[in-house]
Amino acid sequence: MSAAAACMPQLVPPSSPLHGSAAQQQPAMAAAERRQPGATETELTMHIYIHVWIISHGIEEQRAEDNSDGVSAVGKPRPVVRTLTCERKAYMEGFALWRSIGRPELQELDPILSFDEFEFSAPAGFTDHPHRGFENVTYMLEGSVSYHDFSGHKGTINTGDVQWLTAGRGVVHAEVPGGHGVQRGINIWINLSASNKMVEPRYQDLASDAIPVATTDEGGVSVKVIAGECLGVRSPLRPRTPALCLDVTLRPGACLRQPVPRGWTACAYVIDGEAHFGGEGGAKSSAGARTLVVFGDGDGDVVDVCAEASGARVMVVAARPHGEAVVRDGPFVMNTREEVEQAREDFRHRRNGFEMANGWTSDHAVAATAR
C-alpha cells in the first residue's frame, strides 16, 4: 500500500509501500546489504552537533555538544509558514488515506514527494508493481503489511516497525494487509538526487524494538528515532537522501526543541492529540490530529513542538532538498520526461534494473489469482 496507490490511479500495476517482521529481521538486513554496497550521504550530513533544549512541565534543560555547524547556544526556531488539514479519501474498497503532501495544494516539499497516513484492509492489495527513482518509507501505527519483491525479499511490517526502501534503479514488489481488520500506517516518498536515481536497491528494515528511543530526564517527551538523531540518540538507518524522521510523543504541556540543519525542508504531522509549533518571539500555530505543519527555512536551525492539554503524538520529518527538476509518472520519479519513458520501457522489457521481474510472480499475486 504505498503512496503510489493515491498518486497513480491509472498506472502500470497498482503500487504500495511496506515492511518486514522481527522474525525475519536478520535475513532481511542481509538481503539489503547484498543489494546495496557502499555508504550513504547521510553519514556526512547528520553528524552535526546535537543541541537540544527541552521544556517540559516547566523544566528547562539545555544539552549541547560541539557544534561545527554554527548553531547558537539556544537556537533560532523556524516559523510555521503553512498548515494543511487532511481529509480521508477512499481509493478502493479496503484502502483509504489522508494525504498531506502530494495533493494539489502542496504537490511536493522538496525532496518529500508524498506524505500519507493510510488505512489498509482486505480485499484491497497491491499486487506486483515497479518503482524507480525515490525512497519509500513505511512506518506502521497499527496492524501490519506483508510484502514480497522480485529478489526474494519478503516479510511483514508490524506495529511500530519501519521499512526504508531505496528503490534506486528498480524494484518490483507486492504489498497486502498483514492481518485481519484495518491496518494503519504512514507512507512517505522521498526523492533521490539525479546522481542516485540509478543506485542499487536497498532495504533497511527495523523492528519496533530495534528503533532507538530518546527520552527527556523528566519523562515528558519520548521519541522513536526512525532516522537521524534526537536528544543524543541516533538511528542506525542510513537514508540515501539525508533525512530526519521522528515519532514524538509528548505529555500535556511538554515541548521538544529539535535541531534541523539550515537549508533542509522540515514539516510535522500530528497523528493524535493537539500541539502547537513555532518558537518564542514568533506566532505559534496550533494543529490537531491529521494536520500537516510546514516550517519555513531562513536562518532557523531548530523546530519547536509543544503538546496542548491533551498531549500529542507528532511525526517530525526533515530532509535535504535536491533543487532539481522532478518528473513523475506513477511509480517512476525521474528528472526528465525522457528518463520516465526510459523507466517504463526498462520495466516493460525487463532490463536495466528490472531483469529479476522476468518470469517472477509474487506470492501475493499467486494467492490473489487463486481466490
pLDDT in tens, 202-243: 999 999 999 999 999 889 999 999 999 999 999 999 999 999
Label residues 106-137 b or e (16+ Cβ within 10 Å = b).
bebbebbbbbbbbbbbeebbbbbbbbbbbbbb
- Cα–Cα distances (Å) from 191 to 71, 159, 295, 331, 360, in that order, read 27, 25, 19, 12, 27
One-letter amino acid at 102 equals: G
CATH superfamily, region 3-319 = Jelly Rolls (2.60.120.10)
Cα–Cα distance, 64 to 73 (Å, whole number) = 7
Structure confidence at residue 321 as a pLDDT band (50, 70, 90): very high
The answer to whether residue 289 scores a pLDDT higher than 50 is: yes
β-pairing verdict for 80-85 and 171-177: unpaired
Percentage with pLDDT > 70 across the chain: 79
> Are 244 and 319 spatial neighbours (Cβ–Cβ below 8 Å)?
yes
Sign of the dihedral defined by the CA atoms of residues 271, 275, 280, 283, in that order = positive
Structure-model confidence comparison of residues 22 and 159, the more confident one: 159
Structure confidence at residue 92 as a pLDDT band (50, 70, 90): very high
Q: Provide the 3-class DSSP secondary structure of residue 178.
A: coil
As a three-state string, the secondary structure of 254-283 is: CEEEEECCCCCEEEEEEEEEEEEECCCCCC
Instruction: Average the pLDDT over each of 68-77, 180-189, 329-338 and give the range with the smallest value.
Output: 68-77
Kindly report, residue by residue over 291-301, the tens digit of the pLDDT.
Answer: 999 999 877 99
Residue ranges of the domains in the chain? 3-319
> Can you give the pLDDT at residue 323?
98
Other Cβ atoms closer than 10 A to 198: 17
The answer to whether residue 99 scores a pLDDT higher than 90 is: yes
